[in-house]
Amino acid sequence: MEAWMLSNVSSRKLSLVWKDIVTMEHRNERMFNLFQENVAFSISKKMILWFGSLIQVVSIQLIQCTKLMEAGFWNRIRGVDFIWK
């Protein structure tokens, strides 16, 4: 009788330990997936911000060039002043 109870308790403990291991594995997998998603989101966010700032700089430069052209003067290019008319 004691041997049956001992084997019953042991199998119950074993099943609980196995359940804990499986739960921990799933939790670790979820954490790893969240980590991957966060890293991917962070990289894509940085890329979007970088491209956005690049577009902003280029558009500001184009606006400045357009204003200079409208005023009739071109910026100094290679040390020579050009008049745009």
What is the DSSP code string of 19-76? Answer: HHHHHHHHHHHHHHHHHHHHHHHHHHHHHHHHHHHHHHHHHHHHHHHHHHHHHTB---
Can you give the pLDDT at residue 65? Answer: 73
The torsion angles phi and psi of 65, rounded to 5 degrees, stand at -65, -40
pLDDT of 83 above 60: no
Per-residue pLDDT band for 8 (boundaries 50, 70, 90) equals low
| Model pLDDT for residues 25-47, shown as the tens digit of each residue | 777 788 877 777 777 777 777 88
Can you give the pLDDT at residue 63? Answer: 81
pLDDT of 85 above 50: no
| Model pLDDT for residues 53-82, shown as the tens digit of each residue | 888 888 888 887 777 666 655 555 555 555
Prediction pTM value: 0.37
